[in-house]
Amino acid sequence: MSHPFDSLQQQCRTLRLAETAKELPTLLRKAEAKGWTYHEFTHELLSYELQCREQKTVERLMKWADFPEVKTLDAYDLKEQNALGEKEFHVLKELHWVEDDFTLILMGPTGAGKTHLSVALGVHAVQQGFQVSFVSMAHLMYILKTREHIKKSNTRYKRIIGSDLI
pTM higher than 0.85, yes or no?
Answer: no
pLDDT at 47: 93
Tens of pLDDT, residues 70-99: 988 888 887 777 778 888 888 889 999 999
pLDDT at 51: 93
Domain boundaries, the chain: 4-63, 78-161
Tens of pLDDT, residues 114-160: 888 899 999 999 999 999 999 988 999 999 999 999 999 999 999 99
Q: How far apart are CA 126 and CA 72, in angstroms?
A: 12
1 pLDDT above the threshold of 50: no
Q: How far apart are CA 30 and CA 27, in angstroms?
A: 5
61 pLDDT above the threshold of 60: yes
pLDDT at 137: 87
Write the DSSP symbol of residue 3. Answer: -
